[in-house]
Amino acid sequence: MSKILGVSGSLRKGSYNTALLQAARDVAPDVIGIGSIRGIPLYDGDLESEGMPDAVLELKDKIAVANGLLMVTPEYNNSMPGVLKNAIDWLSRPSGDIRNVFRGKAVAVIGATPGGCGTLLCQNAWLPVLHALGADYWSGGRLLVPGAGRVFDEGGRLIDDSVSERLDRFIHNFIDYIA
């Protein structure tokens, strides 16, 4: 069982955020597992009434048994991407399950962007959502990755020593927090 479940908020094959998540997992492969939002449909109350989609149930179970959640999120229009917010909305259903899935769960938020601000506004935008879910937002570190086009190579490998050091410190501090 992973202690931390990492989830990327991008579905793109060449995603910088998925690459950042993979680099985070490489820091502590025995502790960090990877979950996916792929296959989660757009939230629709009628669909929910017919039964929870398998992709939602699978991710929900993985988060519920993890001690921590690492959200690696792109920034869209100074906020969070719809696909990840949509996934979190599904994961918060039925509302009675929020207690098992999110309440008191240590959640760290990081992100990468080709832009200059490193997903700062997106990270801040997640705060009211995590608050609504009763999650334990971990503010013991901050990892902003601007200029992502220079930070990863074409294969998605992290090639920037400074980001690598900051990621290493962030992940180890988060692991210490949930231990």
Residue 38 engages ligand FNR in binding (rule: CB under 6 A): no
Classify strands 68-72 and 136-137 as parallel, antiparallel or unpaired. Answer: unpaired
- Scanning residues 15 to 34, which ones bind ligand FNR (CB under 6 A)? 15-17
Q: Which is nearer to ligand FNR, 12 or 169 (CB)?
A: 12
User: Cα–Cα distance between 30 and 23 in angstroms, integer?
Assistant: 13
Enumerate residues 6+ apart whose C-beta is below 8 A from 59.
7, 35, 36, 37, 40, 87, 91
* Residue 21 Cβ vs ligand FNR, minimum distance, rounded to whole Å: 9
Residue 113 engages ligand FNR in binding (rule: CB under 6 A): yes
Residue 74 engages ligand FNR in binding (rule: CB under 6 A): yes
- Scanning residues 75 to 104, which ones bind ligand FNR (CB under 6 A)? 75-78
* Residue 112 Cβ vs ligand FNR, minimum distance, rounded to whole Å: 6
User: Cα–Cα distance between 51 and 113 in angstroms, integer?
Assistant: 36
* Residue 44 Cβ vs ligand FNR, minimum distance, rounded to whole Å: 22
Please work out the total of residues on this chain that contact ligand FNR, with binding judged by CB under 6 A.
14
Other C-beta atoms within 10 Å of 27: how many?
A: 18
Q: Which is nearer to ligand FNR, 82 or 140 (CB)?
A: 82
Residues near ligand FNR (CB under 6 A): 10, 12, 15-17, 74-78, 113-115, 117
